[in-house]
Amino acid sequence: MIQIAALLCPDWYLPGMPQQTPAPQRPLEFRYWERIDEPWVRRLRAVLRRTTGFDPAPPEEVVRTFASMYYDADPLAEAFVDEVYLGRSPDEGRALLDQAITSGVDSIEDPPASLVELFADIEEDPDWVDHRLVDLGARVFRRYGTSVFRFAGTITLAAYAENSVAKPLILSGAYTGASTRNRFAETAAFWIDVSEPGGMSPGEPGRAAALRVRIMHVFVRRRLLAHPEWDLEAWGVPISQADALLTLMGGSAAPGLAMQAMGYRPTGEEIRAMMHFWRYIGHIMGVRPRWYPKDLREAIQLAFMTQLKGARGAGEDGRRLCQAYVTAFAPQPDPTGSLLGRLTAAWENGVHLGYARFFLPGPMYRDFGLPSVGLFALHPLVQAPFRFAAETLRRNVPALDDIADRRARASRRRWVDRQLGTKAAAFDAPRKFTR
């Protein structure tokens, strides 16, 4: 455990901890440098230089930094888990965290030092944060309604080809089998909580959910590092800063650019605001990447690097995750026998499949063995003219912006309530692995 702690927390040492061996510069499955000089990559770079006006390949120092981030974790949260959850008891850890979230650390008599340090860190804003941009980014994210849920779920399928992403999910049972639909709805509930007006303020649901997910990630990381299947040299640490950064981009720059195909019309400033908003959420969740894209150009360069670096070695595990996701909304037997209920379920399933087919590249869709979706594959595109018209009106009539915000907020809340029913989203680490 001492060696694991040293690897996870390079600037944090326990008494008597031996000097650590420097972390590898990159995981073995980081293949960027093997591919960057291939002929097809050189041709693609040349085309993109002409069309965008810049080289899509990031500077070499950025690539090296990003690769080494696969060995960065979350020292502050690790220290709290060690001192309280493991050093005392899980029940005391949960109780202290809940009290600190709802009433502040000052309400706790003799709080643990690690808890004080954790909350002092998140309560003091970093130098880069601009809360005007955080609020704007949250508003833009809300504007996408439930469309961004399906889009974000779909682009994650491409990441399932990578072991560093697929293994935590497949081993913990998350997003597999019958639990997939509920897990996805819980994730959507998290997206709602963090993006509601003021949702990331102290004591608000979004901030509380972000902190609970942060602690859950520590337990998942610890258990996976001890699992015989986890390959530290090949994949880095579980839920690394590098993969977490890609997740933040999947909620900001990616929908800001790709969902314009559906008729959405975010401005460049609004996409940058979404990037800022998700960076702040990441900050509360312990995502502190040593490099973060400062603009759309750098976000595109990160996407280019991500496409080249992947080993795509998850194999059957990745296919199982993708198949579980696309079949998650398959109609279930309706106990009431309602025709409307059956039609609604069939439509929901078709739209879900349509997004997956539209946004996932065709070869990848086929490689994962995903089903034919028929005309639903055109659903995102068919709505584009109507969405474009509504977006144009909203941009030119300021009063419509508030109306659109209220409608989008209500729509996405209804969608999550329909999926979860009376259950509340739970952000607990799995108690056992599936294998």
Q: Does 17 have pLDDT greater than 90?
A: no
* Pair 94, 212: CB distance under 8 Å: no
Nearest-10 Cα torsion for 184, 187, 188, 189: 120
4 pLDDT band, cuts 50/70/90, is very low
Q: Render 367-382 in DSSP notation, one character per residue.
A: HTTPPP-GGGGGHHHH
Q: Does 1 have pLDDT greater than 50?
A: no
194 pLDDT band, cuts 50/70/90, is very high
How far apart, in Å, are the Cα atoms of 166 and each of 116, 175, 178, 282, 366? 34, 10, 17, 21, 18
**pLDDT value at residue 179:** 83
Rounded Cα gap, residues 359 and 255, in angstroms: 11
Length of the chain: 435
* Pair 199, 138: CB distance under 8 Å: yes
* Pair 188, 412: CB distance under 8 Å: yes
Mean pLDDT in residue range 278-293: 97
Q: Does 182 have pLDDT greater than 60?
A: yes
Among all chains, which residue has been given the structure tokens 């379920």?
345
**pLDDT value at residue 432:** 58
**pLDDT value at residue 336:** 66
Q: Please report, for the chain, the start and end positions of each structural domain, with discontinuous segments joined by +.
A: 72-124, 133-420
Q: Does 255 have pLDDT greater than 50?
A: yes
N- to C-terminal Cα distance for the chain?
Answer: 22
Mean pLDDT in residue range 211-228: 94
Rounded Cα gap, residues 26 and 44, in angstroms: 25
Q: Does 10 have pLDDT greater than 60?
A: no
**pLDDT value at residue 433:** 58
Q: Does 14 have pLDDT greater than 60?
A: no
Q: Does 355 have pLDDT greater than 50?
A: yes
**Residue bearing the bigger pLDDT, 299 or 342:** 299
Report helix, strand or coil for 333. coil
**pLDDT value at residue 430:** 56
**pLDDT value at residue 435:** 60
Rounded Cα gap, residues 295 and 272, in angstroms: 6
**pLDDT value at residue 311:** 95
How far is C-alpha 134 from the chain's CA centre? 17
Mean pLDDT, all residues of the chain = 90
Q: Does 337 have pLDDT greater than 90?
A: no
Rounded Cα gap, residues 394 and 402, in angstroms: 9
